[in-house]
Structure 1
């Protein structure tokens, strides 16, 4: 469906007129009436417009508007015109009730837009989101419960919370970029400081970054969330029961479709929590550090460029602090600023940095090319990284898997020391989010050709385990 098939074509025309500020305030009054009342009487909206927009209505000129002379005469007529104009453009509709009174109804598209406009106008700090904790809490309660419906609902709830978390992180990242652009246009030190500590500090750091580090921490809850989801994904009987519950809840056309949808959501949540720290949190932290560094440099530059008395005094004091023999300069400016020199003893008072002498050219020294111990150690380290690096480990694991999706300790064929070392390194690197495989340790020990390794399952990442 096209956009203007879902909303009236002239819906936004009042917001592009010369009186757009008045219409925006009127829409906010409409949102207040819609939020506080189930049934909105037309005369109640009329009274709210008159009381809250009296000054704006009196100052408006309504040039080019289709307003009647009687409506233009006083504030009451102008308020009636606002109701007629917004109704004709599709922001609300009128209906007559059983008591023969006119009532206002707000369509779905209009209620969503009014909510959005009010949120954009609201300058209060956002508080209280807890997507990661809600995901952990719902999965933990459902896992400890024997109710299959609760487990199914917990998967869908975890999927919604994770999706909302990703959207929040994207919004935070782009919001930091927005403060970068705002800072470019600022040319006053106080404005930069207010933007950094009041706006950025409260609306970004305290509202989003701080909860992500403390209350709603991904590293804190990641392992329990993944543990519950992986346990459910490996239980075919439980998956079938959850699929039946989802089918009864009309979340899919067939049980097979519901089962596939549950598995897809479980794997998606698992993969998101594997990559969310590297792909989102680290990028946001780096962006915050760049913004903070840029704000500090901006303050320093604006302070040094200040040509007022304060700026000149700052330059003067800086020059005096760097010059140990500024007695004559102090005497010259003392009648104006009443400046007196102060000194103190520190651990460096009796120490002076040795100044290096001027280097002179000397005859070149011939260096014989011999293999030193350092070169030999470097070559050994290079050999170690090449034969046992992450790339070599990934190739070895791929050789074990072949075309299969999973393999076990008995399939590895441990015949020499290198294969034994690779099996240990594969276990150590299996938890790396960048690895293309996952290793699950089983109970017991497997022995072959004199080597002992843990019983384990190697599974290609992103592939459902076949039972």
Structure 2
């Protein structure tokens, strides 16, 4: 059952990240998340308040004047002139924790000895985890996703718990697709950033410090070389096809889904398993298009970076050169008449007919060439007819093959292929058509393949020694 978003998270949860102090609250959430990983059963309230106080003092030392307010919107430390820095930051740390509790980012429990502990709700843990992943540019191992999917579909889990194995493989496929789409969108984000740089040094810094380190080194280069998923792609697609074509295996997976309590009925379980297999197949079938679009986006970034650097170099070249010459002339104490050589005079022409945009001309209506009818001489027509009749006479049709085989068979119900042993190249070609038409079911005979493959070599020609059987209803020749 799918729930609505605000049935899971409380109202006003994201107000914390929209005010003037959103950065301090974001840092506080990440600090809470880090300590929640070690203090699994709750963080002591006093310990967390001391950690937040230390963080606020660091912000103060860096010159950030933060006004952390309490629930009622009043300053958490109103009498600032009478309090020390430690008292102010301690009051602000308490205000941060109270607001986190009021917006239900955290929960506060009072346990034995009246000691208070901070716990993170399940939705807060997941949301903060996603925010932390956005801040940490980690290396993505794309081949790991393909290996996990292949292992789920072919390993021991697929034999003992097939339903869970298929659904787990579909979840990993969704994560794999999401990572590739994120890489594609992240390239666009970096492309938009590089075109906003205002100096060549900023363009170079962005290219090498951001794009190369975060995109090329950690994702794109690995995806195109050592971490490429081509090693498992075809194996996964073949395995999915085997699952979809094996009715017994699908029923076994559906039964496992009902037995494990994942689905109420076998029909729903089988439908879910099929949809999961289709999703995996669609993911790995569409990888070529996704890789192509990622390459296109990467080339767009490189082009944008190059164009931006070239534009800035052209814009700044004249000014930088003129300033350098000014300083040089000032150092040499040249006369004022030499200063005229600093600035190049450019000729500016007035508006003329040649400089204005010329309107497009309407295309003239198409005038087709006059069709001239040329009569073909009768001797040429007669030659063409003779050639076509001869070509049709030599053409091998199904009727000719039927007449050839049934005529050699006579009144018999079957005969061996070696009786049609070819003596010429034309007969060998006819033998190929015997194999072809005897296997498609549309002729008066059929090929009965021998259980043990026999290769005959007669008259310098090699062919299979099968049996030709007359079909019921075909007339005897």
Q: State the TM-score bracket (shorter-chain normalisation).
A: 0.5 to 0.7
What's 1:43 paired with?
46
Partner secondary structure for residue 108 of structure 2 = strand
Residue 33 of structure 1 corresponds to 35
Counterpart in 2 of 1:273?
Answer: 284
Q: Choose which of 60, 64, 89 in structure 1 pairs with 2:66.
A: 60
Counterpart-to-counterpart distance in 2, 1:68 and 1:309? 52
Residue 300 of structure 2 is matched in structure 1 by 290
User: 1:102 is matched with which residue?
Assistant: 116
Larger CA Rg, structure 1 vs 2? 2
Q: What's the offset of the Cα at 1:191?
A: 1.4
Unaligned runs of 5+ in 2: 325-370, 373-396, 400-430, 441-477
Q: Distance in 2 between matches of 1:71 and 1:29?
A: 28
Q: Could you tell me how far 1:277 is from its partner in structure 2? A: 0.8
1:194 aligns to 2:196 (yes or no): no
Q: Distance in 1 between matches of 2:126 and 2:28?
A: 16
1:321 corresponds to: none
| Change in 2 beyond 3 A, CA 1:454/1:153 | farther
Conserved? CA contact 2:195–2:304, under 8 Å: no
Of residues 209, 215, 218 in structure 2, which corresponds to 1:204? 215
Is the 2:67–2:75 Cα contact (8 Å) retained in structure 1? no
Q: Give the TM-score normalised by the residue count of structure 2.
A: 0.60
2:238 and 2:147 map into 1 onto residues whose CA distance is 15
Matched residue SS, 1:91: coil
Q: Is the 8 A contact 1:127 1:207 kept in 2?
A: yes
Q: Give secondary structure in 1 for the equivalent of 2:13.
A: coil
Query: Quick check: 2:30–2:132 contact (8 Å CA) kept in 1?
Result: yes
The residue that corresponds to 1:139 in the other structure is 153
More displaced 10-residue stretch of structure 1: 147-156 or 95-104: 147-156
Aligned pairs for 1:413-452 (under 5 A) are 450=434, 452=436
Per-residue Cα deviation, 1:191-237 (whole angstroms, up to 9, x for no partner): 11222222112212222222322344233322111112222222222
Counterparts of 1:453 and 1:172, CA distance in 2: 53
Q: How many residues align?
A: 328
**Is the 1:303–1:311 contact (alpha carbons within 8 Å) kept by the matching residues of 2?**
no
1:42–1:152 distance in 2 versus 1, CA, 3 Å: same
Bigger mean CA deviation after superposition, 302-311 or 177-186: 302-311
Cα distance in 1 for residues equivalent to 2:167 and 2:437? 39
Q: Secondary structure at the match of 2:112?
A: coil
Deviation at 1:453, TM superposition (A): 8.6
2:94 to 52, 63, 80: 80
CA contact (8 A) 1:247 1:255 kept: yes
CA distance in 2, matches of 1:3, 1:62: 29
User: Once the two structures are superposed, what CA deviation does each residue of 1:109-161 show, in whole Å capped at 9, x if it has no partner?
Assistant: 22222223323333x4434452122222333434xx8x622544332222112
8 A Cα contact 1:71 1:78, kept in partner: no
Q: CA deviation at 1:178?
A: 1.1
Q: C-alpha separation between the residues in 1 aligned to 2:251 and 2:211? A: 48
Query: Paired residue for 1:24?
Result: 26
SS of the residue aligned with 1:450? helix
| Distance 1:29-1:57 versus aligned 2 partners, 3 A rule | farther
Q: Confirm or deny that 1:240 pairs with 2:245.
A: no
Structure 1 position 264 matched with structure 2 position 275 = yes
Helix, strand or coil for the counterpart of 2:188? helix
Q: Could you tell me how far 1:182 is from its partner in structure 2?
A: 0.9
> What is the alpha-carbon distance in structure 1 between the residues aligned to residue 439 and residue 286 of structure 2?
27
CA distance in 1, matches of 2:5, 2:210: 34
* Matching of residues 202-351 of structure 1 within 5 Å: 202-278=213-289, 280-307=290-317
Q: Is the 8 A contact 2:68 2:76 kept in 1?
A: no
Compute the displacement of 1:454 (Å): 12
Deviations 1:268-306 (A, max 9, x none): 32233222212x111111121122122222222222322
Cα deviation, residue 177, structure 1: 1.3
Structure 1: which 5+ residue stretches go unaligned? 315-368, 371-413, 417-446, 457-467
Provide, for residues 248-281 of structure 1, a one-character-per-residue CA deviation record: whole Å limited to 9, x for no partner. 2222211222222222222332233222212x11
Q: Which of 111, 114, 117 is the equivalent residue of 2:125?
A: 111
Once the two structures are TM-superposed, the CA of residue 68 in structure 1 deviates from its matched residue by 5.1
Cα separation, 1, equivalents of 2:111 and 2:79? 26
* Contact kept in structure 2, 1:189 and 1:299, CA below 8 Å: yes
**TM-score, scaled relative to structure 1:** 0.62
Moved more, 161-170 or 7-16: 7-16
Change in 2 beyond 3 A, CA 1:152/1:200: same
Q: Distance in 2 between matches of 1:180 and 1:125?
A: 20
